[in-house]
Chains A and B, each alone.
Chain A
């Protein structure tokens, strides 16, 4: 059960990372916001890759 919940968390993280990535891609003008989207992706991506 604990394992199943952990997998759910990776899916949840992937879902949220996708949202942020999509928003990054849709952000037309503000380079400021584009950078912030990518900063938020740092921990999400490395968790998904099981690095940290």
Chain B
């Protein structure tokens, strides 16, 4: 049986490579891999051939809700940008904070961390505040690739930050460990690593003169004012916070609707008349690669499970000897995230945590450590969800790798911090006790 699974795995890899060779997009190559993988599996009737299409279609639903969040959140930001609100915010912030650089950097970091911490999705951070923060960083004299690097790392940390960390939640759900006591083991490293990131990458300006000129020449539409820009955000955060505060008195709206209501507000408060439908349509053109990746990855995940490929990979990881395992975490975790996104936490994370738990490691701290590593993988192909979003919101148009290379320093520090937290999880368990009181 193991040989058959290996054949399927090879067929998927070959299909992907052929797709790349024929210059198909990454998404289409992945789809090809899923399709041929299922076809190859059907030879061994895993799955039966009548079920191939059903598996592909069913898999496409895996991230449907994430797709809706992406779509509505990007529309929200697009409407704000078109109304001139973002330029306005940047100008105002830079006028008041631009002179005290460390404070400006620190505040910008906190602004990026908050939306992701509240929703567990780094993408929300980028979609909501990414563009204005990128603009502000630009006016602090940073180059586009460096801004994208900062946003990418901070967005990843925001997703890991408490109170909501989806990786930790998936692991807790799969290991019967209560999702409690994560405030300090996650919060402290995130604040520390975030500060380190923004200061190390953002301390030294690269090209001051040009930037300053730009921001003073910015064209703000007439009639733009604080309340026009604050109101859509207040609606959005108000709805998210209100559910957190009174969960039993309010109906569940869900993030897509919350973003949509936010964008309607932004549309109504815009000083100039905007074509909501046209803006939305153009937004969808831009996020097609991201959204189609989510659909195709869901299909791929389903096919990998139905054929046993997923099990083979999971088995290979937990069979690695312990010391080697700790070292290889630095590579395995980000790459698995790059290929499978959240699916990786279930496939590798759950067996890994059980294994570590049975060896006497402290599960809560170990999960916290691992969930610092996972977000790094969101910058790696084939999916590179957060990486591509970072590039998108910071308007960087150079090569993807030149952006990714800029992240090396925080990347290494975060990797070290995460792995050390796993190794010394038992010694760090006081963080959990302090969190729960």
Q: In the complex they form, do A and B come into direct contact, defined as C-beta atoms under 8 angstroms apart?
A: yes
Interface centre among B64, B253, B289 (most CB of A within 10 A): B64
Q: Are A9 and B28 in contact (CB under 8 A)?
A: no
Q: Are A2 and B61 in contact (CB under 8 A)?
A: no
Q: Is the interface of B mostly helix, strand, loop or mixed?
A: helix
- Give 8 A-B pairs besides A15-B280, A40-B292, A46-B61 with Cβ atoms closer than 8 angstroms: A5-B253, A9-B256, A16-B68, A19-B281, A33-B25, A39-B27, A39-B60, A43-B64
Write the residues of chain A forming the contact surface with B, with a CB cutoff of 8 angstroms.
1-2, 5, 8-9, 12-13, 15-16, 19-20, 22-23, 32-33, 35-37, 39-40, 42-44, 46-47, 52
Q: Are A36 and B25 in contact (CB under 8 A)?
A: yes
Q: Are B60 and A22 in contact (CB under 8 A)?
A: no
Closest chain-B Cβ to A42's Cβ sits at a distance in Å of 5
With a CB–CB cut-off of 8 A, which chain A residues contact B280? Answer: 15, 19
Option from B72, B281, B295 in Cβ contact (under 8 Å) with A12 = B72
A36 to B292, CA, bound (A): 6
With a CB–CB cut-off of 8 A, which chain A residues contact B60? Answer: 39, 42-43
Q: Assuming the A-B contacts A23-B281, A23-B288, A37-B288, are A32 and B68 also in contact, with contact meaning beta carbons closer than 8 angstroms in the complex?
A: no
With a CB–CB cut-off of 8 A, which chain B residues contact A16? Answer: 68, 71-72, 284
Write the residues of chain B forming the contact surface with A, with a CB cutoff of 8 angstroms.
24-25, 27-28, 31, 57-58, 60-61, 64, 67-68, 71-72, 251-254, 256-257, 260, 280-281, 284-285, 288-289, 291-292, 295-296
Q: Are A47 and B64 in contact (CB under 8 A)?
A: yes
With a CB–CB cut-off of 8 A, which chain A residues contact B57? Answer: 42-43, 46, 52
Interface centre among A12, A32, A47 (most CB of B within 10 A): A12
Closest chain-A Cβ to B328's Cβ sits at a distance in Å of 33
A32 to B296, CA, bound (A): 14
Option from A1, A12, A39, A42 in Cβ contact (under 8 Å) with B260 = A12
A selection of 5 A-B contacts at a CB cut-off of 8 Å is A5-B257, A9-B256, A12-B68, A43-B295, A46-B57
Q: Are B295 and A40 in contact (CB under 8 A)?
A: yes
A42 to B296, CA, bound (A): 11
A37 to B72, CA, bound (A): 17
Closest chain-A Cβ to B100's Cβ sits at a distance in Å of 42
A2 to B289, CA, bound (A): 32
Closest chain-B Cβ to A33's Cβ sits at a distance in Å of 7
With a CB–CB cut-off of 8 A, which chain A residues contact B295? Answer: 39-40, 42-43
Nearest first, the 6 A-B pairs at minimum CB distance are A36-B292, A19-B284, A43-B60, A1-B251, A43-B64, A42-B60
Using CB atoms, name the residue of chain A closest to B294: A40
With a CB–CB cut-off of 8 A, which chain B residues contact A15? Answer: 280
Q: Are B58 and A52 in contact (CB under 8 A)?
A: yes
Q: Are B64 and A35 in contact (CB under 8 A)?
A: no
Q: Are A13 and B68 in contact (CB under 8 A)?
A: yes
Closest chain-B Cβ to A46's Cβ sits at a distance in Å of 7
A35 to B355, CA, bound (A): 42
Q: Assuming the A-B contacts A40-B295, A42-B57, A43-B67, are A9 and B284 also in contact, with contact meaning beta carbons closer than 8 angstroms in the complex?
A: no
